Structure 1
Amino acid sequence: MKKSELVALIAEKGGYTKTEANKALSTVIDAISQTLEGGEKVSLVGFGTFEVRDRAAKKSINPATKQPIEVPAKKVPAFKAGRALKDAVDKK
């Protein structure tokens, strides 16, 4: 599902215009992003938790040149699904 399709679904189910739904979705995405940038978790009970995890540095191989390279440590966003979401997905 693309963002435009999600906006249309939110508008239909919530009785909003597509403009209002798009603004609301963009606001939620921005709020989650800013919270993660600050190093905090975002927990939506029943849906899941967004958090930042540390990925360790590692050695890898460049597939084009076959030369070893160092991949630096970095922080990555992660999502862990909540029980209600897991159960809803597992029904089918």
Structure 2
Amino acid sequence: MKKSELVDAMAQKANLSKADVKKALDAFVSVATGALKGGDCIGIVGFGTFDVMERGERNVRNPRSGQVMKCAAKKYVKFKPGVGLKNTIN
């Protein structure tokens, strides 16, 4: 589902204008990005949690040449679905 499709579906479900839903969605993305960048965890009860994890430096192998290279340490966002989302999907 693309962002425009999500905005359309949310506007129809909440009986709001597409412009209002787009503003709310953009605000959520902005606030969530800032919180995750600051190292905070975001939990939405019944949906799931977003958390920032750290992956350490590691050695990787180039499959084409077989050469071993170092992959730098980095942070990534992990999503863990909540019980309500799991139950709905299953």
Does the alignment reach a TM-score above 0.5? Answer: yes
Amino acid in structure 1 at the alignment position of 2:38: G
> Counterpart in 1 of 2:32?
32
**Offset of 1:63 from its aligned partner?**
3.5
Distance in 2, matches of 1:37 and 1:52, equals 8
> Counterpart in 1 of 2:18?
18
Unaligned runs of 5+ in 1: none
Match of 2:31, SS state, is helix
Identical aligned residues as a percent: 39
**Offset of 1:71 from its aligned partner?**
0.2
**Offset of 1:65 from its aligned partner?**
3.6
Amino acid in structure 1 at the alignment position of 2:87: D
Matched, 1:59 2:51: no
**Offset of 1:64 from its aligned partner?**
4.2
Distance in 1, matches of 2:54 and 2:68, equals 22
Matched, 1:77 2:89: no
Residues 46-92 of structure 1: CA deviation (Å, up to 9, x unaligned): 111010001121111223443211001111011100000000010xx
Count of residue pairs the alignment pairs up: 90
> Counterpart in 2 of 1:44?
44
Unaligned runs of 5+ in 2: none
Distance in 2, matches of 1:8 and 1:63, equals 43
**Offset of 1:40 from its aligned partner?**
0.6
Amino acid in structure 1 at the alignment position of 2:73: A
